[in-house]
Amino acid sequence: MEKIVIVGPSSQILGVKIAQELGIESINTDIKKFPDGENYLRINIEDETLIAGKEVIIVQSTGPSASADQNARLMELFMMIDSVKRMGAVKIIAVVPYLAYTRQDKIFRPGETQFANAIIHMINYFGIDELYSVDVHAPIVLNECTCKAINIDSMKLLADYIKSIGARNIVVVAPDKGAVERSGAFANYFGENVPVEVFEKERDVKTGEIKMSGALNLKNKDVVIADDIIATGGTMATAIKLAKTSGAKKVFAVATHALLLEQAKYRILKAGADEIIGTDSIDNEVCKVSLAKIIADYLK
């Protein structure tokens, strides 16, 4: 079956690269906001037979940025699915590297919504055949998918990048217990005996305030702090400060989805990071690692 990539507005570089890796055509979208705030999207084609009968791969991360928030990105995703379905796509594959709302996977306070599940239910409603995401914060939410759903691991790619910039004597530090498993798998990519240390993090569920503690011996070590998401940078900056006071020589702040909201860059660099490293799940200045090949390999 012929395939085509729809490059979503939030994943312009990644979408084109995936199409190039697959050796297939790609097209983009026209988007705007109506005066009342409603989103508008059309697939940028004049001839709808370009879609009819094809396998359509939609690439759209749903992270917030200066130009659109995650709600707009999700709406665009739904609009693209709806549009290609109407035009007669035979198979629809959604590549959503950053899946918004997956941090709302648990009920922390009475009255809350487990909205991570609801987002998957919405994707189910629009109806796709396969969903590919990357380092999903709570992979368990993918169990809600009624279609095939794959959580791609970007850790090897990030580890390869860190090795390529000459990090030595590496210790991987997990900024909280939730990151321990991921950090352990990450450390293995640096070699068998690379240690994983963990700081204790507590977040006040009402105020969001973070407290972190722990004293490690990191003297002369290159410390890699790995998280799935950097949002405001609070977690990362606090972990970096602790790593520095524990003797770290260099500190690399690594995240699959470096959203870098508000003053995150300032906070992280001011805390003492040598470099911030993310993937092109989020199209910004720290996306030094491309997911295009690994995603294309899954799609082949």
- Catalytic option among 201, 221, 250, 265: 201
221 catalytic? Reply is no
| Residue 68, SS3 per DSSP | coil
Run of H or E including 269: helix 264-271
d(CA 157, CA 129): 27
- The least distance separating ligand R5P from the CB of residue 212, rounded to whole angstroms, comes to 10
Which is closer to ligand R5P, CB of 65 or CB of 232?
A: 232
**Where does this chain bind ligand R5P (CB under 6 A)?**
103, 137, 175, 178, 227-236
Q: Which is nearer to ligand R5P, 117 or 238 (CB)?
A: 238
Q: How far is CA 271 from CA 125, 228, 240, 243, 284, in A?
A: 44, 19, 6, 10, 21
Q: Is 299 strand, coil or helix?
A: helix
In the numeric block, the tokens 């990048």 are attached to 161
At its nearest, how many Å lie between ligand R5P and the CB of residue 78?
24
Q: How far is CA 89 from CA 4, 49, 124, 296, in A?
A: 10, 9, 16, 20
**Residues tagged active-site:** 201
